[in-house]
Structure 1
Amino acid sequence: MTLLAFLFLLTLVPAGSVRSRHLPKAAISSPVFGPREVHGVRGGSVTVKCFYPPTPMNKHDRKYWCRQKGSSCFTVVSSDFVAAAYRGRVTLTDHPQEEHFLISISALEMGDAGTFQCGLGTNGRGLSFRVTLSVAEAPPVPEDAELFYVKLRSTWTVTCGFGKETAEMRKYLCKKEKDGCRNIINSYQDKDVPGGLQLTFESPPGSFRVTMTQMDWEDAGLYYCGAGEYEKDSTKKELDVFIYDDKHFPHLKTNITAKVGGSASFECLYDPLLNSSSRFWCKQKGRQCGNTIIDNNGRVEDSYEGRVAMFENPENKTLTIILNQLQEKDKGTYWCMSNELREQQSSTELTVVPGEPALTGKKEVEAQADSRVNLTCCYPCKYYSYEKYWCRWNSTGCAMLPEQQQQQGLPQPGDGCEPNARTVVLSLGPVAEEDEGWYWCGLKRNGVFGETMAVELRVSAGRDAKLSPEFLDVDSSHDPGAAPPGGAHSDTEVRKGAAPESSDESHGSNTLALVLGPLAGLILIVVTAFAIVKYRQLKRSDLVSVGSYRTNISMSDFESVRDFSASNSVKETHETPMGGDEFITTTDTPDNAANTTKAKRSSKEEADLAYSSFLATSSSIAQASSGGHSAGLDVSPPQDRV
């Protein structure tokens, strides 16, 4: 019962899904790939090409070519060995950078025909591919199939040519199946071309190229490209395609669904080391790509100006294309193209559906020159942890703007945001005509670009700019009756809504304001500076009275006097300072020296002594200035006291 239930569930799974999840037997058994059949002529030579994944181990591992007999495989030639019977006519050459090695056999004999294996490592390891060699007595011999070793999810490109006589014939690519050859694409097919397929004509005449992107496991097998009809005409070529999985090859999105008015991000592969390669992006029309929308040389189609930008990311070797302001007509298949490394070309199908985009805001803003402008971008709270940015668009990309110009927060009246949304605002000003252009608001997460929104800013040189009330910005000095926040205003613009005044009164008040305003400001500055200077002086000084004089004495003067007094306390002197009996000095005697040593002054006493010395000095100065008759001071001549 369990087995029956499993088989029933298996029948419900789509066939395509089963094919995409189960690898072909050849891919499971071995990633080594070579030709299924090789044809040669007696006396001639053949070359066998065997592919292998370019891992470091495979590049340095042993390569071999052996002949199968029963369950055994006897080595004919390897990286360090040649069998005696084949010496001089068999060589093995490894090309690790091209991911293959070549076996060349010359002087073919009829006995050389048989079943062989080309592989890596030692026999029986499983990394091998079976090849059948046939030798004919004389030409002609069948043409060998062209081999293609294609990475999973990469792009396959093949060029076929059959001469200028086939220039007007139908060109086609079909895949060999049990009941015939199924059409993949042909030159008569202008409609209903599957996404990810291109057929373009090449030179010389009669040549064409087919490009198929996002190769999957079921795309492996035998193909035929040709001119005319597969069953009727013999002008065809066999192509053998092998798919293998490269863990280092990135898998890109094949389908993108976006909302009308929103944006879509497309990833392209490129090798940053190939600076000479040209990269461009286009939309598929019929069986080939239409006009180039944008390229890495700065060319942008006129109808896409401001809507599309290209960002290079050398770290992961990707190129991001962002298309915003989406419309229903934008749906279709878009191609990343390159003139080099065609396996890195890719295609992505875009579907545009109705709905509200993640980022909202005013898409067109008009401002007057010399005004300040705020561009507002509203985003849902679920993107709170995402990185937000504003950039200025140009034909070569979108230059990121400084974070100082960007502010985030809750929506303000007039922003047009939902109550549960937040905003990121770009402040510009005063704007000039050269600031006119496109500005993008966007989201980023882990370095990956997300939703974006484009805003077009128009700058008018006159006073007749139509300023949107949702985008008027008001300075904090304006009164409450001014325009609401969120946009542009002119510093020279006269505010509307004020009470009417007579012309004389208005002129007089304006004149008085023009005169008194600067004067009051100047006075305020002088008073403030004077107050600061006086405050600093008072902070370091004390107000002292000396007779009839009042003066400010700096504390540094006390310190210098104290130091001076201390340094000269032991000197012999007979001088007595002016000012009576405050200070009495005599010649030092042994008793006085002993008393001096015994009674050491404290720092407070030294300060008092310095202060008294200052008073005496000040008194002497005051007496001299008043002619020696200052009241309250002892002016008797100094005398020695025993």
Structure 2
Amino acid sequence: MILQAFLFLLALLPAGSARVRHLPKAASDPVFGPRQVHGVLGGSVIVKCFYPPTPVNRQDRKYWCRQVGSKCDTVVSSDYVKPGYRDRISLTNHPEAENFQINISALALEDAGTFQCGLGINGRGLSHTVTLTVAEAPPVPEAAELFYLKLHSTWTVSCSFGEDTADKRRYLCKKEKEGCRNIVNSHQEIDPGFQGRVLLTFEESPGSFSVTMTQMGWEDAGLYYCGAGEYGKEGKSKELDVFVYEGELFPQLKTTVTGKSGSSATFECLYDPLKQSSTRIWCKWRLQGCDKIIDNTGYVKYGYEGRVAMFENPENKTVTIILNQLRAKDEGFYWCMSNELKEQQSSTELKVVKGEPVLTGKKEVEARVGSRVNLTCSYTCKYYSYEKYWCKWNYTGCAVLPAQGQGQGLPGPGTSCNASTRTAVLSFDPLEEEDEGWYWCGVKHNGVLGETMAVELRVSSGSDARHSPELLDVDSSPESGAVPPGGAYSDAEVRKGAVPESSDESHGSNTLALVLGPLAGLILIVVTAFAVVKYRQMKRSDLVSVGSYRTNISMSDFENLRDFSACNSVKENQETPVGGDEFLTTTDTQESTADTTKAKRSSKEDAELTYSSFLVTSDRIAQGSAGGDNAVLDVSPPQDRV
């Protein structure tokens, strides 16, 4: 029952945990070399054995011995050569390359057998078993290419099979009992267990390609084949022998990073040592390649401006990448790549989950030049003891802005933190045009960068572009409808009918000029000229445009005005209220006086008086329009007509 329960628990373990259930081979046997070496009679062979590059291993004795029963007879070592092998065998140590080599020449058939290459004392130190075969004549089988890799590092292999294979399927497979398990091929078929951490790319030479595999684990050791065509059926292939050992000072990076939607995610890349000549690239993995997002030369992919930044940390020899404003489509695998230190390339999976960001604030702020602006960043108690900072984003990083205490009395931005409201504030007083851009609010703890929030600050210059002061010809007095600061009328003033006075243009034409600009003003001038011509044809016109109001004035109205002008000469009391668009005139005069006046006028005089009265009335209407539609109109007749 206990055994069944144990097996059941193993079955429930996630697939990812299988990477740590394998026995660490390098923990007990970190020396690695070829499994088999093939030579031809009279020829030579080179045996390369790898070891961890520790100070002890570099100085320790290296040896090559022949297995005889339970013993191993030394053939050559760092300070010894067996008689019979002198002048045709040598052992050379290459500590910088983490290996030592055994060169054997003038091969004889009796040189074949089982050997060990190792460190220390025979049978007690670290060793690796090698089988040497000697053929009487060619051909000699091609030996496997060896790869000695640190745990969690990256493996890169190049394979070339000639131009005649350029149109064939390229692949990498791993040798297993059932055959060769496909890892990746040029048809974009990838084993699910290697999804996101293996990449096949074509090289410039036709028929050549390379495969990169990141985050190497214990289970990744073994025999691989890269080839063109189909393994075991047709085409060409090459054997690759991969060994994984636990190297010193090679930290394990996170294989998965989780971030909340709208928040940020932090990735770490290894670059040891940090070389000025090396190019550091961060890209998003895809089936057909890796899409570059940012590098250390200042490149940022379109659409990621203000969202991503790269920070180098010489102290711990790493590079940190922060991706802001996370969204669902950002999920996937991201790679750290280098043009020099390929073993330090790595991949990390990003998962975006729903949730509220810990850092909150307004993400878009717009203000005018010269104003005071505060960018706020609120944080929870979780980050109360963390260091808070503001920085200005650019294509090569994010420059941290000085604290408020360092910039007192000086123009420019400053930062402060209000402990009671848990808000970090970045202030601009006054705001300048060059302040426009992206600003990040972030936290860090013990020098490690944490969550960030990006804010876009847009700076507008001067007054609203919709208003053109040079087109405004208004009286600044309140009585005439003064324009408030900013060059715009309030809604209340428009509803009250407050209209600015103009000597040549009405309020309606000003409004039209403000909206349509200079072109509309030109059209308005033409319309005004046309109206003047119409004035001279008043005897045939019934509709006149005055300001922003349209007033129906008929010929009968002119007759009433003519009567009113004649009666006013004898000082009679009368009123003329203006109600809306019509003049309603009431007259209480002596009929005899009106008849006498009418009899003295000729038809020509009637027309002249009518036209003069109209001009007076129009002028009064324009001047009194600022008082509203209910203003009282006081019209006096021309004195020379009495």
With the length of structure 2 as denominator, give the TM-score of the two structures.
0.69
Code of the residue aligned with 1:409 in structure 2: it is N
For 1:58, what is the secondary structure of its paired residue?
A: helix
Question: Matches of 1:301 and 1:144 in 2, distance apart?
Answer: 44
Task: Indicate conservation of the 8 Å contact 1:360/1:377, yes or no.
Answer: yes
Residues 31-430 of structure 1 correspond to what in structure 2 (within 5 A)? 31-189=30-188, 194-290=195-291, 292-404=292-404, 405-410=414-419, 422-430=422-430
Question: Matches of 2:37 and 2:96 in 1, distance apart?
Answer: 24
Cα distance change on mapping 1:399 and 1:60 into 2, 3 Å: same
Q: Report sequence identity in percent.
A: 70
Structure 1 residue aligned with 2:451: 451
Question: Matches of 1:8 and 1:184 in 2, distance apart?
Answer: 29
Shift of 1:367: 1.2
Question: Matches of 1:187 and 1:197 in 2, distance apart?
Answer: 12
Question: Matches of 1:2 and 1:442 in 2, distance apart?
Answer: 51
Question: Matches of 1:163 and 1:239 in 2, distance apart?
Answer: 18
Shift of 1:21: 3.0
Shift of 1:65: 0.6
Cα-to-partner distance string for 1:550-598 (whole Å, 9 max, x where unaligned): xxxxxxxxxxxxxxxxxxxxxxxxxxxxxxxxxxxxxxxxxxxxxxxxx
Question: Matches of 2:217 and 2:335 in 1, distance apart?
Answer: 18
Shift of 1:11: 5.3
Shift of 1:287: 3.6
Question: Matches of 1:349 and 1:19 in 2, distance apart?
Answer: 16
Structure 1 residue aligned with 2:598: none
Task: Indicate conservation of the 8 Å contact 1:63/1:120, yes or no.
Answer: yes
Shift of 1:463: 2.7
Cα-to-partner distance string for 1:436-479 (whole Å, 9 max, x where unaligned): 1011000101111110001111111113399xxxxxxxxxxxxx
Cα distance change on mapping 1:435 and 1:15 into 2, 3 Å: closer
Structure 1 residue aligned with 2:435: 435
Structure 1 residue aligned with 2:554: none
Question: Matches of 1:310 and 1:15 in 2, distance apart?
Answer: 32
Task: Indicate conservation of the 8 Å contact 1:190/1:287, yes or no.
Answer: no
Code of the residue aligned with 1:406 in structure 2: it is T
For 1:195, what is the secondary structure of its paired residue?
A: coil
Q: Which runs of 5+ in 1 are unaligned?
A: 412-420, 467-491, 501-642
Question: Matches of 1:195 and 1:403 in 2, distance apart?
Answer: 42
Cα distance change on mapping 1:306 and 1:114 into 2, 3 Å: same
Task: Indicate conservation of the 8 Å contact 2:464/2:486, yes or no.
Answer: no
Code of the residue aligned with 1:431 in structure 2: it is L
Code of the residue aligned with 1:322 in structure 2: it is I
Task: Indicate conservation of the 8 Å contact 2:373/2:429, yes or no.
Answer: yes
Question: Matches of 2:319 and 2:152 in 1, distance apart?
Answer: 17
Task: Indicate conservation of the 8 Å contact 1:366/1:465, yes or no.
Answer: no
For 1:176, what is the secondary structure of its paired residue?
A: strand
Question: Matches of 1:350 and 1:423 in 2, distance apart?
Answer: 29
With the length of structure 1 as denominator, give the TM-score of the two structures.
0.69
For 2:378, what is the secondary structure of its paired residue?
A: strand
For 1:303, what is the secondary structure of its paired residue?
A: coil
Task: Indicate conservation of the 8 Å contact 1:32/1:50, yes or no.
Answer: yes
Structure 2 residue aligned with 1:21: 21
Question: Matches of 1:127 and 1:407 in 2, distance apart?
Answer: 60
Task: Indicate conservation of the 8 Å contact 1:197/1:287, yes or no.
Answer: no
Question: Matches of 1:60 and 1:247 in 2, distance apart?
Answer: 17
Question: Matches of 1:350 and 1:122 in 2, distance apart?
Answer: 48
Number of equivalences = 461
Question: Matches of 2:355 and 2:130 in 1, distance apart?
Answer: 57
Task: Indicate conservation of the 8 Å contact 2:27/2:245, yes or no.
Answer: no
Shift of 1:197: 1.1
Cα-to-partner distance string for 1:601-632 (whole Å, 9 max, x where unaligned): xxxxxxxxxxxxxxxxxxxxxxxxxxxxxxxx
Structure 2 residue aligned with 1:470: none
Code of the residue aligned with 1:139 in structure 2: it is P
Cα-to-partner distance string for 1:353-387 (whole Å, 9 max, x where unaligned): 11111111001111111112111001101111111
Q: Which runs of 5+ in 2 are unaligned?
A: 405-413, 467-484, 494-642
Question: Matches of 1:331 and 1:316 in 2, distance apart?
Answer: 28
For 1:329, what is the secondary structure of its paired residue?
A: helix
Code of the residue aligned with 2:302 in structure 1: it is D
Task: Indicate conservation of the 8 Å contact 2:154/2:214, yes or no.
Answer: yes
Structure 1 residue aligned with 2:541: none
Shift of 1:124: 1.9
Code of the residue aligned with 1:245 in structure 2: it is E
For 2:57, what is the secondary structure of its paired residue?
A: helix
Shift of 1:288: 1.5
Shift of 1:18: 4.8
For 1:463, what is the secondary structure of its paired residue?
A: coil
Task: Indicate conservation of the 8 Å contact 2:282/2:337, yes or no.
Answer: yes
Task: Indicate conservation of the 8 Å contact 1:388/1:443, yes or no.
Answer: yes
Task: Indicate conservation of the 8 Å contact 1:30/1:126, yes or no.
Answer: no
RMSD: 2.3
Shift of 1:327: 1.2
Shift of 1:125: 2.0
Cα-to-partner distance string for 1:148-181 (whole Å, 9 max, x where unaligned): 1111111111110000110111000000000000
Code of the residue aligned with 1:407 in structure 2: it is S
